[in-house]
């Protein structure tokens, strides 16, 4: 029988390492799946820079070898917002491996906890340059008002082998047979991190797999760190758990049981389902040379990440870097959790961004739909790839 769990004891169990930034893959309100509060200060401070739907192979595929840019550029400092998640790996690796420095860019990380609605004005006024965050109605509303903040690359997708979410239910209710299938969630409370984010489409598809609709459950908005205790206490009956929370709640604490997890979840919601992206501020999007240089370094970081998941020695380096910037410090947790999908080519399937708009519109989160080609711009990737 698992011991009684509170949010305080849950965070304390991790030795305080996860307090303030639990999500290691992609979380918080309007930053859907990207965590819930502030991120701990990195263990060391780096001194150097430190279209259409696309469903190509999962991140583990081996990309074309990269070439290091040789043209020396005047150094520019760019302020990039992250929440210290494992899905920020492309940024952190590019910093620590010197990829940004090689293209004349130094990164200043901004780890303040903000919603997308708070971040977008900072991008548009040049107080921030680049943001890593989840897809939400706030982005759509900004674009509809004429603010250009394009999603230019992936920062985490659910894909085969990289299904880093789980639909968790109270373990004791699973064991007594009360909730063992999605169909059993009728009339129950279903927790998501943001009901105007991309995860509402994930919830819709999960429920449809059990013959239910969003109207058949009570949607509850909840921060990820609160979900394990809420499941144990039955304040909620199901939750979209994100790694490493899923591994902790299910495998370590035993307070949750998975109805869908990993590839079984991907089978339901679709492969290469986008959770978070990289967004350029309008001034960065307009500075083509700078934007492409940044993308060159970022894509090299993504390649290193994917290679590291295949090569044991390089994996150690990836984990070493992630420990500098994320709250995840336990080697066993890195081994147990499902890692986020970060395609080496930087792309993601854009179709869900069109499909989720109908839900947002029906729920009043947006007043009009926006064509996907006004939300996503992969041309920076295409140009950067010519240099790799």
Query: Any idea where the domains of the chain sit in the sequence?
Result: 17-158+273-385, 165-269
pLDDT band at 311 (very low <50, low <70, confident <90, very high): very high
C-beta of residue 243 within 8 angstroms of C-beta of residue 85: no
| φ/ψ of residue 79, rounded to 5 | -95, 120
pTM: 0.82
CB atoms closer than 10 angstroms to residue 146: 8
Q: Is the pLDDT of residue 111 over 50?
A: yes
Superfamily of domain 17-158+273-385: Periplasmic binding protein-like II (3.40.190.10)
Q: Is the pLDDT of residue 223 over 60?
A: yes
Distance CA 226, CA 9 (A): 11
- pLDDT at residue 72, as a whole number: 53
Strand ranges in the chain using DSSP code E only, listed in sequence order:
76-81, 105-110, 130-134, 151-154, 157-158, 165-170, 189-192, 218-221, 238-242, 256-261, 273-274, 276-280
| Structure confidence by residue, pLDDT tens digits, 44-93 | 333 333 333 343 334 444 444 444 444 455 799 999 999 888 999 999 99
CB atoms closer than 10 angstroms to residue 77: 10
- Dihedral angle sign, alpha carbons of residues 238, 243, 248, 251: positive
CATH code matching the domain that covers 165-269, chosen among 3.40.190.10, 3.40.50.2300, 2.30.30.100, 3.40.50.410: 3.40.190.10
All residues at 6 or more sequence positions from 263 whose CB lies less than 8 Å from its CB, including other chains: 160, 161, 163
Q: Is the pLDDT of residue 24 over 90?
A: no
| Structure confidence by residue, pLDDT tens digits, 181-218 | 999 999 999 999 999 999 999 999 999 999 999 999 99
Q: Do domains 17-158+273-385 and 165-269 have the same CATH topology?
A: yes
- pLDDT at residue 66, as a whole number: 44
| Structure confidence by residue, pLDDT tens digits, 236-273 | 999 999 998 999 999 989 999 999 999 999 999 999 99
């Amino acid at each position: 029988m698992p011991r009684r769990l509170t949010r305080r004891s849950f965070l304390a169990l991790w030795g305080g390492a996860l307090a303030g930034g639990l999500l290691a893959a992609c979380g918080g309100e309007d930053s859907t799946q990207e965590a819930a509060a502030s991120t701990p200060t990195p263990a060391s401070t780096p001194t150097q820079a430190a279209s259409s739907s696309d469903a190509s192979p999962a991140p583990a595929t081996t990309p074309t070898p990269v070439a290091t840019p040789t043209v020396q550029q005047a150094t520019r400092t760019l302020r990039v917002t992250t929440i210290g998640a494992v899905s920020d790996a492309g940024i952190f690796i590019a910093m620590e491996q010197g990829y940004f420095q090689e293209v004349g860019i130094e990164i200043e990380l901004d780890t303040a906890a903000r919603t997308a609605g708070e971040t977008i004005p900072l991008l548009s006024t040049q107080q921030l340059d680049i943001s890593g965050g989840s897809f939400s109605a706030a982005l759509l509303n900004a674009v509809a008002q004429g603010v250009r903040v394009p999603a230019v690359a992936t920062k985490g997708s659910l894909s085969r082998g990289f299904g880093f979410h789980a639909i968790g239910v109270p373990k004791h209710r699973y064991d007594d047979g009360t909730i063992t299938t999605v169909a059993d969630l009728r009339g129950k409370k279903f927790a998501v991190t943001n009901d105007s984010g991309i995860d509402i489409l994930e919830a819709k598809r999960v429920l449809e797999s059990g013959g239910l609709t969003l109207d058949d459950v009570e949607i509850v908005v909840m921060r990820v760190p609160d979900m394990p205790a809420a499941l144990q206490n039955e304040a909620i009956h199901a939750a979209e758990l994100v790694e490493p929370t899923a591994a902790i709640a299910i495998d370590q604490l035993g307070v949750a049981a998975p109805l869908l997890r990993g590839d079984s979840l991907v089978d339901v919601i679709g492969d290469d389902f986008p959770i978070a992206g990289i967004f350029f501020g309008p001034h960065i999007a307009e500075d083509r040379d700078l934007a492409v240089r940044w993308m060159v370094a970022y894509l090299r970081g993504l390649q290193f990440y994917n290679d590291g998941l295949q090569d044991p020695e390089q994996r150690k380096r990836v984990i070493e870097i992630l420990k500098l910037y994320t709250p995840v410090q336990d080697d066993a947790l890195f081994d147990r959790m499902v890692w986020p999908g970060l395609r080496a080519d930087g792309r993601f399937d854009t179709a869900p961004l069109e499909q989720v708009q109908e839900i947002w519109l029906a729920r009043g989160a947006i007043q009009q739909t926006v064509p996907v080609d006004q939300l996503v711009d992969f041309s920076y990737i295409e140009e950067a790839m010519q240099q790799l």
